Copies of this chain bind each other. A is one copy, B any other.
């Protein structure tokens, strides 16, 4: 029933139009007196880095466009795995190593990376650290604040802060400086090297996809999974009916939805990772039987081999790409009490009726296990005001409901104006103090993350 021809997590970069430079998109920014990079500067770097091709000045677009084709900046060579210790599982890498390449390097040693993103094939570990990326298996492995054991960071004055020499599982000697750079989005320094604790790769991976008739049943299915699957549960993802429709139409039109009905309001994907296939299957089958008997789950399918695992995952993983292929993408990443998820999506649809406004394909999906909802939508053409209105509604909704406007994507330039609403004055003052203390000339990723102090 399931096709096996799809490569998992291999997003194609089907970018058709070139996004304007961020400087054009955000003309209101009061830009500082920064120097433009000229030939003389490039020569300095060429002397500092004499080896062939270390200074790249052409064909840099691939390093400057974000996945959603929303941001384009104006430069990666840091792609070496420096060391790996197969006893401790500690790996030290350049910041430019692509997550999937690192995973492939670890695999023969029986280890895996402790984070897994849809963008695995193109994202780099330095970016993952700088944005504190979460991804699909955060509920299993925890976040990067726990898994990063050391960083090499170039500070604003050119000094290199290096804690990679002796990465250890435990080290309580003074302030844990590296933590400040995890999720700081490059505003305090540039991460150039990372020491990561990697977990053992599980021997068995099993995946089930289920349909439920209400969001309450998603919650019940999740609570039951935590009890019944417990230590082997590695992901619990959900998506709504509209997500299925769009993925089917734009990405997987040659495939049959693996469940009998594609008209249920919600679906979930459960993944288990464990050391014994037979035990894991018993747990998963008993979970499914129990929850189908008591009416929590309406329909379910269990992958029988690795290709079916991939085939099931793609119905979740293709959602962001389906959105980018369907028009101008607007993508949101909020965190809150999971009981609020359906209300938020419904409120957004009521405010901006899909098809009856300039907006369409308003989708809700995400990581139930982390309380992390992704809302994505398309907009006709590109209308700055249209985006801002949508942003404003979503960010304010999240803030009013004790949620976060950024569970994992970060603040960047997109959400910086909302920081004064989602952080209290003490938090803002302390962030500004740290920023000023580390980067007195504001040369590190300016205008991002920390809002200008206008007395707020």
Contact = CB atoms under 8 A, between A and B. Distances in A.
Contact of A162 (B145, B155, B162, B424): B424
Interface stretch (A33-41, A66-74, A257-265, A271-279): A271-279
A159 interface: yes
A434 B181 CA distance: 14
Interface stretch (A172-180, A292-300, A343-351): A172-180
A371 B279 CA distance: 30
A250 to B, nearest CB: 28
Most chain B CB within 10 A, of A177, A228, A405, A422, is at A177
A160 interface: yes
A76 to B, nearest CB: 22
A282 interface: yes
A406 B176 CA distance: 13
A276 B219 CA distance: 22
Interface in A227-249: 227-232
B339 A87 contact: yes
B142 A411 contact: no
A331 to B, nearest CB: 14
B273 A431 contact: no
A280 to B, nearest CB: 9
A59 interface: no
Contacts of A145: 145-146, 176, 179
A426 B231 contact: no
A174 B226 contact: no
A317 interface: no
Nearest to A428: B174
A161 B408 contact: no
A110 interface: yes
A58 interface: no
B405 A173 contact: yes
Contacts of A450: 174-175
* Copies of this subunit: 2
Contacts of A25: none
A9 interface: no
A124 interface: no
A404 interface: yes
Contacts of A408: 170, 172
Interface string A165-197: 110111111111101101110001000000000
A410 interface: yes
A169 B338 CA distance: 11
A200 interface: yes
Contact of A138 (B143, B170, B180, B370): B170
Interface in A363-383: 370-372
Given A170-B143, A183-B176, A227 B403 contact: no
Contacts of A202: 230-231
A180 B174 CA distance: 10
A172 B132 contact: yes
Interface in A68-98: 85, 87-88
Contacts of A431: 174-175, 177
Interface in A15-67: none
Given A174-B411, A232-B275, 12 more contacts: A145-B146, A160-B426, A162-B424, A169-B370, A170-B370, A172-B404, A173-B405, A173-B423, A175-B183, A175-B435, A203-B230, A228-B275
11 contacts: A131-B172, A132-B176, A142-B147, A163-B427, A168-B371, A169-B371, A172-B411, A173-B423, A175-B180, A179-B180, A437-B437
A-B interface, 5 closest residue pairs, ranked by CB to CB distance from nearest:
A146-B146, A179-B179, A230-B275, A170-B407, A171-B404
Interface of A: 85, 87-88, 110, 131-132, 134, 138, 142-143, 145-147, 155, 159-163, 165-166, 168-177, 179-180, 182-184, 188, 200, 202-203, 219, 223, 226-232, 273-276, 279, 282-283, 335-339, 370-372, 402-411, 415, 419, 422-424, 426-428, 430-431, 433-435, 437, 449-450
